[in-house]
């Protein structure tokens, strides 16, 4: 499902116009992004938790050339699935 399809589905389920649903979805995504950038986690009970974790610098090998390159340290986004979502997906 692409973003436009997701926005349409939200509009249909919430009884909103497509324009209002788009504003709501974009505001929610922006708020999650801002919280993660500030080092906070975002939890939706039953759905899951978005969080960040530091990833150490490392060396990686380029496939095909076997050249070794340095990969800098970074912060990665993690998602831990919630129980209800896990059950809904596994039962489908």
| 39, 48 contact by CB (below 8 A) | no
Residue 30 has pLDDT above 90, yes or no: yes
Q: What is the pTM of this model?
A: 0.81
Rounded mean pLDDT of 65-91? 93
- Residue 49, SS3 per DSSP: strand
The pLDDT, as a whole number, for residue 66 is 85
Which runs of E-coded beta strand occur in 1-92?
A: 42-44, 48-55, 58-61, 68-71, 74-81
| Domains defined for the chain, CATH in brackets | 1-39 (no CATH), 41-86+88-92 (4.10.520.10)
Rounded distance, CA 64 to CA 17, Å?
A: 50
* Sequence-ordered list of residues with C-beta below 8 angstroms from that of 47, at least 6 positions apart, any chain: 82, 84, 85
Mean pLDDT of the chain: 94
Neighbouring CB atoms inside 10 A of 5's CB total 9
Per-residue pLDDT at 72 exceeds 90: yes
Residue 62 structure tokens? 């380029």
């Amino acid at each position: 499902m692409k973003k436009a399809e997701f926005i349409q589905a939200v509009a249909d389920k919430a009884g909103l116009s497509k324009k209002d649903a788009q504003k709501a979805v974009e505001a929610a995504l922006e708020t999650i992004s801002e919280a993660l950038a500030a080092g906070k986690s975002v939890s939706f009970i039953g759905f899951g938790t978005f969080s960040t974790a530091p990833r150490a610098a490392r060396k990686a090998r380029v496939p095909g050339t076997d050249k070794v390159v340095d990969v800098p340290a970074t912060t990665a986004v993690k998602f831990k699935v919630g129980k209800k979502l896990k059950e809904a997906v596994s039962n489908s």
